[in-house]
Amino acid sequence: METTLHNLKLTLILCVFFQSVLIAQVGINTITPQAGSMLDVTSSDKGILIPRVDITNLTNIAPITGGATESLLVYNTNTTTGKGFHYWNGSVWIPIESKDWKLSGNSGTNPVTDFIGTTDNIPLRFRTNNTERLEITNSGLLRAFNPGTATQPLLSWDVDSDTGIFRGVDDELNLTAGGIEFLALSEGGTDEFIVNNNELALNTRIATNNKTNAFFVDGTNDNVGLGTNNPDTSSQLELTDNNRGILINRVALSSTTSNSPVTAPATGLLVYNTANSSSGATEVLPGFYYWDGTRWIAMGGTGGKDWSLEGNAGTTIANNFLGTTDNNSLAFRTNDAERMQIDAAGTIGIGNTPYLDTALRVNNSSVPYGIISQTSSNGVAVYGSDTGTGLGVLGISSNNHGIYGTTAYTGGAFLIGGIIGWGTGNSRANGVLAVSDQQAGTDSNMGIRAVSGSTTSISSTQIMNVGVNTNATDLALYALSEGPITSLGIMEAARFQTNYTGSAIDSDARDPRAQLAGFTNASPVGGNTMYYGGYFYSGGSSFNNSYAYAGARYGNTNYKIIGNGTVSTTVEGVDGNKKIMFAPEAPEVLFEDYGIGTLSQGSTFIKIDPNFSNNIIVDEKHPLKVFIQLEGDCNGVYVTQKTSEGFLVKELQNGNSNVSFSWHIVANRKDETGRTPSENSEYANLRFPDAPNAIFGSDSKATIIDEGKDKLFNEGKPMK
């Protein structure tokens, strides 16, 4: 059986072989192999399994044995040399890759593993029309085979093909836009950064963070602007910043004849010298200099030794001056006539020769004013100062005012005057000192005569010497003591005192005195303080005199008048003379009122005036005092139910009379409550409180006004 089966297999193989030989084509799973194929394997659900081998070296035919036939196909299973189909090209195994780049593009690529290029040390070149266009070297450099032009740059955009980068000549990189070359980086032996290499009418602009036209070259007018894109056509360079300047090179020159530290300076070269060097004709000072071809020339007003007709700048008071260096006077002229002279001693004469003992003499009899000094600032038009024992300002007139000051000020400040005197010392200083030292003759003499609101001075017809004579349409005198009271303790706004006898500077308790708007903590008894609108002291007696405080606050109580005299008034007497009446006084602060009432069936309730009621206190400590005067017959009455609002009058023995009566009530004044505790005023509990004493006056002091005025007014003229 085995022999039969073996024979059958052999017969089938021979049949197939002979058939293949006869028709030169082989078909597997088909009896009609394709005419163009040597082997046609047909299957709808099977493939061909190529021999699988492990190739460890792609340059060696191993593991194939028996011959290295070119085009031999295998499937490599080695992951190191690359799994997949390989064929032998006669010397190496060539992989049949599935990751080729399609003409229509690829999808699903990985930029980490998929790329166009080589995996060996060979450059990559790109061609069009079989002409090399671009190369990526094995070092990663990108090289082009066409330099491009300004109109067809090497690198450009499809929508803007004449804008990009090209190479004009060797060692040069060019930038073009719109077919026009704008920039060139040229080595070419000169190493230049070139703008507008073709010298066209192109503008050049450099912008910064704050300036659109920080640097601008006008290609049409061939000039430059800094800060402007429209430099003036008359200038080669225009700078427009209005808060900065040009900083010229600063050098240290050694002399006008040495070019150092500049090497071979060009004629017209400008520098700013920082040194003070050399002397005489070759001296250089800080300032601007230019080179004239042989020496440095100082520019007028910037360090040169000439005085410019338009003025100089950069001078130093120690070294630069207008004047003489010998013992000769300096004269100033107009119309060839001397107008001012400074003599060798430094005294000055304007309009005439100087006085030897006068710093400045102004004398020109042909004009009405000697000096007019004006200023529109907040300073001083005329300032006089003497640091010795002389006067700051002296004014003398034979027939008019010695000093006349006016002001037309109409602003908001009050401290503006025609004349102001200011005492700045801390002892015996006077702001204004006014003296009238002669006894009045046919009319009064005034130390100060003050008028406000008119030009008419009103004074007494009595001939006398007056310290201050003042009249005004509204307020003749205003006085304020700044204090404050909390710091000084004893003060007043004004004091008026009349000398009783003897010397005016002697202390005398008999001098009548009035003090206004004051405060004292020295006169009261019991440690209280006294604020007062007025204090009036009669004087006239050393031991028994009258004093009174008016509009006062003593301790914590307000007073209209408080003093040691009586409160009185005057009335007409039947003899035609005035008579005095006196007011009753009490040890407490009391209010009283009067009225009439009528019993009705033996009783009535009297309502107190609400204004009176609002200002009294009625309680156990401060009972209401009621006095009844009957004006008819009854059993008598008594008072009960007393409050600050009223009281009940009731007939004795439950009588039912209907009689009239008059009443008199006395009550303690209640305390006043101010906005703060310090404004309260105590009245209710006062009974014989301590009283303030009189304010004792201080000594007066006399200071003789310097009689050196005779020297100032009467001695000889200034020395000529």
Burial of 351 (0-12, 13-18, 19+ CB in 10 A): middle
Residue 525 banded pLDDT, cuts 50, 70, 90 = low
Q: What is the pLDDT of residue 20?
A: 45
Q: Does pTM surpass 0.95?
A: no
| DSSP codes of every residue in 554-593 | ETTEEEEEEESS--EEEEE-TTSSEEEEE----SB-EEEE
DSSP 18: H
| β-bridge pairing 616-617 and 603-607 | unpaired
Residues 573 and 497 in one domain: yes
Mean pLDDT along residues 662-674: 95
The DSSP bridge pattern shows strands 625-630 and 578-582 to be unpaired
Give me the pLDDT at residue 566, please: 87
> 108-159, pLDDT tens digit by residue?
888 888 888 888 899 989 899 999 888 889 988 888 888 888 888 888 898 8
**What does each C-alpha distance from 130 to 116, 134, 144, 154, 573 come to in angstroms?**
18, 12, 15, 18, 151
Pairing of strands 192-195, 204-206: unpaired
Same domain, 595 and 514: no
pLDDT at 716: 40
pLDDT at residue 360, rounded to an integer:
84
CB count in 10 Å sphere of residue 231: 22
Residue 10 pLDDT more than 70? no
pLDDT given for residue 638 in this prediction: 97
User: CA torsion sign, 498 to 504 to 508 to 514?
Assistant: positive
For residue 623, whether the previous peptide bond is cis, meaning omega lies within 30 degrees of 0, is no
pLDDT(78) > 90: yes
Backbone phi, psi, residue 317, to 5° = -65, -25
3 state SS of 709: helix
Q: Are residues 597 and 568 in the same domain?
A: no
Give the model confidence (pLDDT) of 453-480 as tens digits.
888 888 888 888 887 888 888 888 888 8
Q: Evaluate whether residue 658 is within a structural domain.
A: yes
Q: What is the pLDDT of residue 152?
A: 87
Between 217 and 363, where is the model more confident?
217
For residue 600, pLDDT beyond 90: yes
Judge if 635 and 674 occupy the same domain.
Answer: yes
Q: Tell me the residue ranges of DSSP E strands in 92-236.
A: 93-95, 124-128, 131-136, 142-144, 155-157, 160-166, 172-177, 180-186, 192-195, 204-206, 215-218, 223-226
Query: What are the pLDDT digits (tens) for 232-246?
Result: 999 989 888 889 989
pLDDT tens figures, 322-374: 877 568 888 989 888 888 899 988 899 888 888 888 888 888 777 777 777 77
Give the number of other CB atoms < 10 A from CB of residue 616. Answer: 22
Angle at 575 between CA 572 and CA 580, to 5 degrees: 40
Report the pLDDT value the prediction gives residue 661, as an integer from 0 to 100: 97
User: Which residue type sits at 162?
Assistant: D
**CA atoms of 297 and 269, how far apart (whole Å):** 10
CA gyration radius, the chain:
63
Could you tell me the CA-to-CA distances from 676 to 486, 556, 559, 673, 681 in Å, in that order? 18, 12, 19, 8, 11
**φ/ψ of residue 50, rounded to 5:** -75, 150
pLDDT band at 698 (very low <50, low <70, confident <90, very high): low
N residues, the chain: 720
Q: Answer yes or no: is pLDDT of 712 > 50.
A: no
Same domain membership, residue 555 and residue 631 = no
Specify the amino acid at residue 384.
Answer: G
DSSP code of residue 653: G
210 in the same domain as 150: no
Residue 255 has pLDDT above 60, yes or no: yes
Rounded to an integer, what distance in angstroms lies between the CA atom of residue 72 and that of residue 66? Answer: 12
Please indicate, yes or no, if residue 501 is contained in any of the structural domains. yes
**Contact indicator for 589, 668 with CB cutoff of 8 Å:** yes
The residue type at 110: N
Task: Report the alpha-carbon distance of residue 229 to residue 204 in Å, rounded.
Answer: 9
Q: Mean pLDDT over all residues of the chain? A: 83
Q: Find out whether 332 and 315 touch, Cβ atoms under 8 Å.
A: no
Report which residue type is found at 226.
L
d(C-alpha 493, C-alpha 553), whole Å:
16
Largest separation between any pair of C-alpha atoms in the chain: 196
Q: Is residue 688 part of a domain?
A: no
**How far is 571 from 229, CA to CA, in rounded Å?**
101
Burial 401-435 (b: 16+ CB within 10 A, else e): eeeeeeeeeeeeeeeeeeeeeeeeeeeeeeeeeee
Q: Are 144 and 152 in contact (CB under 8 A)?
A: no
pLDDT confidence of residue 250: 95
Q: What would the two tokens of residue 431 be?
A: 């702001």
Does 55 lie in the same domain as 17? no
pLDDT > 90 in the chain, percent: 27
Tell me, yes or no, whether 517 lies in a domain: yes
**Comparing C-alpha atoms, which of 349, 399, 385 is closest to residue 370?**
349
Per-residue pLDDT tens for 535-563? 988 888 767 788 889 998 888 888 899 88
Residue with tokens 């704050």: 210
pLDDT, residue 370, reads 74
Distance, in Å, from the CA atom of 303 to the CA atom of 253, rounded to the nearest integer, reads 12
DSSP string, 614-640: TTEE-SSSSPPEEEEEE-S-SS-EEEE
Q: Is 515 exposed, middle or buried (CB count within 10 Å of its CB: 0-12, 13-18, 19+)?
A: buried
- In the listed set 555, 582, 609, which residue is the last one of a domain according to the structure? 582
Between 500 and 292, name the one with better pLDDT.
Answer: 292
CB atoms within 10 A of CB 337: 6
Q: Is residue 141 part of a domain?
A: yes
Backbone angle region of 646, left / alpha / beta, with phi > 0 → left and psi within -120 to 50 → alpha? left
Question: What phi and psi values does residue 527 have, to the nearest 5 degrees?
Answer: 80, 5
Contact 78, 95 (CB under 8 A): no
Strand partners, 271: 289
Higher pLDDT, 112 or 435: 112
Cα separation of 21 and 15, whole Å?
A: 10
The answer on 542 and 495 residing in a single domain is yes
What is the domain extent for residue 166?
Answer: 124-195
Q: Quick check: 231 and 217 in contact, CB under 8 A?
A: no
- Identify whether residues 208 and 168 lie together within a single domain: no
Q: What is the pLDDT of residues 161-176, one digit of tens each?
A: 888 898 888 887 888 8
Q: Taking Cα atoms as reference points, which of 541, 523, 514, 532 lies closest to residue 691?
A: 523
Give the Cα separation of 79 and 76 in Å (integer): 8
Structure-token pair, residue 85: 């189909």
Alpha carbon of 23 to those of 28, 34, 93, 241, 702: distances in Å? Answer: 14, 12, 33, 101, 164
On whether residue 566 sits in a domain, the answer given is yes
The answer on pLDDT for 88 being more than 90 is yes
**Token duo for residue 693:** 């004493």
- pLDDT band (50, 70, 90) for residue 629: very high
Q: Name the pLDDT band for 205 (thresholds 50, 70, 90).
A: confident
> What pLDDT was estimated at residue 713?
43
The domain spanning residue 669 has which CATH number? 2.60.40
Domain count, the chain: 7
In-domain check, residue 710: no
Q: Does residue 80 lie in a domain region?
A: yes
CA angle, residues 634, 637, 642, in degrees to nearest 5: 155
